[in-house]
Structure 1
Amino acid sequence: MKKIFASLLIAGCAQWAWADGLKSLEDFMKTARSGSASFTQTVTAPPRDGQAARSKTSSGQFDFQRPGRFRFVYQKPFEQTIVADGRTLWLYDADLNQVTQRAQEQALGSTPAALVASAPDLAALRGDFTLESAPDEGGLQWVLATPKASGSQLRSVRVGLDGARLAVLDIEDSFGQHSVIRFADMQLNPQLPTGTFSFKVPAGADVLRQ
């Protein structure tokens, strides 16, 4: 009887220890109506033909305003800008001088961006994802988000939070590619410049509509 009680107690303690992840995500979504941070992204492709997996690292600036607006500006090693203005998702490749334009509602759904900026609250997020608290790791609280939609290109996202601040997005897609985005100097609810989430097609750029 004592062993059974001890096992239940340990299991209960483990659940409490993991409960902070969802609470931190809920706090982030409640308190962070906007945000700004620098980021570093490392993308690792799965190994092929016996070769070791290869990683590529990029960095830049990230801003968001909930619900539905965000901006990723990749500065190194290649210039690329992704903007969601609330209606349209824009992707600009500076090297190709090419813009891809998509309807935002169709493009974002079950994506990492929904976790950060698109969903207005945790209840809305649960419409697209199954959310589970995960064990604390590296001084962060974690949530495992799994898309509900069948055929999603996204397999899972682990969200790492430092209290009510977003710290890491650990993303795995259906092709086995692994992407980790680490945010630094996250400022919550800053006064963002007018036009942060506006996009103007650069002169001479080709526009692809999807």
Structure 2
Amino acid sequence: MNMLRKTVCAMALGAATLAPVMSTTVFAATTAASEQQATANLVNQLSHVRSLTANFQQTTKITNPKKVQKKGLSAQHMNQTFKGTMKVARPGKFYWEITSPSKQVIATTGKTVWIYDPDLQQAVRQSLDEQVANTPALLLSGNTSQIMKSYRVTQPNKAKTYYTLYPKKSDGVFESLTISFGANKAPTLMILQDSLGQTTYINFSNVKVNPTIPASTFNFTPPKGTDIIDQ
């Protein structure tokens, strides 16, 4: 899988997280939680989410042009905004559909990941390996007990429900990930700093926590005539 496709897949599987999105005054002092407290708080936050549906808007901006150029990405890959919908169910089920400006579907039942491009009539099939499992998908659709294994969790302000995570392995796509939660314990924003010199903002709207989602939602069957690529 090339670097761009791997990044898009990893971002989606995070799907349904920088600078903290909050309001403070110059006089307000904040107290950060310890790493142990932050991890426990995040696990508790996520434990309430068994399933999730939402609309999303994903925008990627260049923060390190030299690094982007070094990775060989052209201007058409920069500063793009995508819109779509996502569905998540524990454990390990994820459906991410980009509807604008182009179309793409990323789906997994926890074992096999499908990445389908209808415009290209092409579907990539790959196993959910460790590298993919260490992406934001772990937070939204995976096993919360694995968070401590994969990430160093920080909570810059223990009174606020936003967390910044740093992968413990340096060979991943992401360098840091921040996730912010709303009053209903649903994620509202994810911000990702990646190894390509980009920052991706994913805003969630129309979020529904713990809806009933048919298991068949996450099963993907390529349409007839689709070129299937195994990786």
Common fold by TM > 0.5: yes
Whether the 8 Å CA contact 1:140–1:162 is kept in 2: the answer is no
Q: Which residue of 1 aligns with 2:154?
A: 132
Partner of residue 125 from structure 2, selected from 101, 121, 141: 101
Q: Which residue of 2 aligns with 1:203?
A: 224
Q: Which residue of 2 aligns with 1:166?
A: 187
Q: CA deviation at 1:150?
A: 2.8
Q: CA deviation at 1:109?
A: 2.4
Tell me the SS of whatever aligns to 1:32. coil
1:92 aligns with 2:116: yes
Q: Which residue of 2 aligns with 1:25?
A: 42
Q: Which residue of 2 aligns with 1:153?
A: 173
Tell me the SS of whatever aligns to 1:78. coil
- 1:12-47 deviation per Cα after TM superposition (whole angstroms, max 9, x unaligned): x6136x999656532332111111011000011343
Partner of residue 43 from structure 1, selected from 48, 60, 71: 60
Tell me the SS of whatever aligns to 1:134. coil
Whether the 8 Å CA contact 1:19–1:133 is kept in 2: the answer is no
Partner of residue 182 from structure 1, selected from 203, 228, 231: 203
Counterpart code for 1:117: S
Unaligned 5+ segments in structure 1 are 1-9
- Structure scoring higher RCO (CA < 8 A, sep ≥ 6) equals 2
Counterpart code for 2:172: S
Q: CA deviation at 1:85?
A: 1.1
Whether the 8 Å CA contact 1:25–1:161 is kept in 2: the answer is no
> Per residue, is there more strand in 1 or in 2?
1
* Structure having the higher Rg: 1
Tell me the SS of whatever aligns to 2:43. helix
1:143 aligns with 2:163: yes
Counterpart code for 1:83: A
Counterpart code for 2:130: Q
More displaced 10-residue stretch of structure 1: 90-99 or 108-117 = 108-117
- 1:105-129 deviation per Cα after TM superposition (whole angstroms, max 9, x unaligned): 33522211112112x22x3211111
- Superposition TM-score, scaled by structure 2 size: 0.75
* Alignment root-mean-square deviation, CA: 2.9
- 1:49-88 deviation per Cα after TM superposition (whole angstroms, max 9, x unaligned): 8xx9951111111100111111101001111000011210
Q: Which residue of 1 aligns with 2:90?
A: 66
Unaligned 5+ segments in structure 2 are 1-27, 70-74
- 1:152-192 deviation per Cα after TM superposition (whole angstroms, max 9, x unaligned): 22111011111421111101111211111111121111011
Counterpart code for 1:166: P
- Superposition TM-score, scaled by structure 1 size: 0.82
